[in-house]
Amino acid sequence: MSNAQVEPVGKVRTKIVATLGPASRDPAMLRRLAEAGVDVFRLNFSHGSHAEHSATFEAIQEVARDLGRQIAVLQDLCGPKIRLGTIAGDVVACDLDAEFVLTSKPTEPENPHELTCTYKELPDDLDVGQVVLFADGTVGMTVLEKRPAWVRMKVTLPGRIRSNQGINVPGAALSVSALTDKDLADLEWTAKHDVSYVGLSFVRHAADVTRLRSELEARGSRARIISKIEKPQAVANLESIVAESDGIMVARGDLGVEIDVAKVPAVQKRIIEICHKARVPVITATQMLNSMESSSRPTRAEASDVFNAVLDGTDAVMLSGETAIGQYPVDAVSMMSQIAHEAENLIFARYEEGFGDWLAVRKDAPGGPSRPVSRAGQVLPITEAVVESASHVASRLRAALMVVATHSGRTALALSKQRNATPTLALTDDAEVAQAMALYWGVTPLHIPELFDTGQVLAFADEWCRRSDLINTGDRLVVVRGVIPDNPSHNALLVHEVE
């Protein structure tokens, strides 16, 4: 039984994404996970039916309403994940130097050394000498001979493979599309549900993101796009992909198979840095607390991994199997929250004690970002100046809370990327924007019926914070108002002392 407690608003700035599965789809478990600190629930469309995902989506919405919180939903598309077909006997040992055939036209269905896969063109895309990895890189084979729709391979990394396990071909320029027929069918589900984010798997070029956006718009969906960086081509085209995306996921599982695993930490840091400068939320994912699938405590290395991702500046950290199939899903969320909180305490303590401003490596020199911000993070120059000024004012006055009124969420995202020690309450009149802001670092979103003038926004925030016991007499609130459509009063900065 977990002892996880609900975290106070703004206590943990780093957001937590939890993948749902058999261990966590139950409504009662969803509530416990949300109370333990989950901000975004991930629906993995590599598994499960539309009916199952619809039931889970409705349960999430009900939990959010009961708790009076904004909880985002990330629909993760399967993408062109190449998997083995059915293997005779379901599992086969791959001994060193043993030979296998990969073909799109099997001739001996009872031969476990004759393999098929879900991507029929793979044998034609391979070249002699190329390395093919199976089962998350635990088994490797080298191509010895190639014929039409057929290759012969020799085992160079022994192990065991099973039916339907994944296949990776590091460095190969495969002709497969980033959006599969299954993905397009899953987007029909998207159009019927107000998911906040859609995860695009195996992105290689910015054009992949553009195509998904056009498919979403054609279906009337306002879902934002999280591009998953898990291919070498995506790393090479990182800045253009970031510029077209609403968020990025460092998908270290397949990335660690596709590139040298020793390079993954450096790539992770580079992705986070570029996302921060482009003002795009970034999620660090895969095997963060992997041992907690079967243990109530993480390893020290895992705790350090989460801690350092927060120090690097990630906006969110993600749990996969830990919450989808693990034995301790609530404990995993609670532990993730605790580690993130400790990392944030160190960040702010170092800043206060003068051991170097951690923001100095995050913020750019005067005159604006050194790289263009993404389409998702663009704000007007006046708004930019107001946001930066508000951050300095909040720091100088040791404000208890920053309050931002925003229609699109962009002003809140700009404040989030300032990495203020002061937590942010973001008010918006758009319900979908409110849910999406649940992913923004340090931001607690709140949906209100209408955005008024600055004085009314302040009065609303003051009353809400009093009811929630977030402020006391003498506390200072810094209020920021972004551009509100059809309202001439905008781009305001106000300091309020609680009476």
Catalytic residues: 42, 83, 228, 286
Residue 360: phi and psi, rounded to 5, are -65, -30
DSSP string for 417-479: TTT-SS-EEEEES-HHHHHHGGGSTTEEEEE-S----HHHHHHHHHHHHHHTT---TT-EEEE
Burial class of residue 146 in the structure, from the number of CB atoms within 10 Å of its CB (0-12 exposed, 13-18 middle, 19+ buried): middle
H/E element holding 139?
strand 139-147
Q: Write b or e for each residue in 83-117: b if 16 or more Cβ atoms lie within 10 A of its Cβ, otherwise e.
A: bbeebbeeebebeeeeebbbbbebeeeeebebbbb
What count of other Cβ atoms lies within 10 Å of the Cβ of residue 120?
13
The angle formed by the CA atoms of residues 398, 8 and 456, to the nearest 5 degrees, is 65
Report whether 378 contacts 410 (CB < 8 A). yes
Distance (Å, whole) CA 480 – CA 495: 9
CA distances from 268 to 221, 275, 282, 375, 453 (A): 30, 11, 10, 22, 42
Q: What's the CA gap between 148 and 389, in Å, rounded? A: 64
Q: What is the DSSP code (8-state) at residue 361?
A: G
User: 3-state DSSP call for residue 66?
Assistant: helix
For residue 468, give Cα distances in angstroms to 8, 9, 398, 463.
9, 9, 20, 9
Rounded Cα distance, 462 and 468, in Å: 10
Whole-angstrom Cα distance, residue 42 to residue 20?
A: 6
Place of tokens 């009872």: 110
Rounded to whole angstroms, the Cα distance separating 87 from 164 reads 8
Task: Round to whole Å and give the CA distance between 250 and 83.
Answer: 21
CA distance 97 to 141: 9
In angstroms, rounded to a whole number, what is the distance separating the alpha carbons of residues 90 and 162? Answer: 6
Provide the terminal-to-terminal Cα distance of the chain, rounded to the nearest Å.
43
Residue 449 buriedness (CB in 10 A; 0-12 / 13-18 / 19+): exposed
- The tokens for 489 are 């009063």
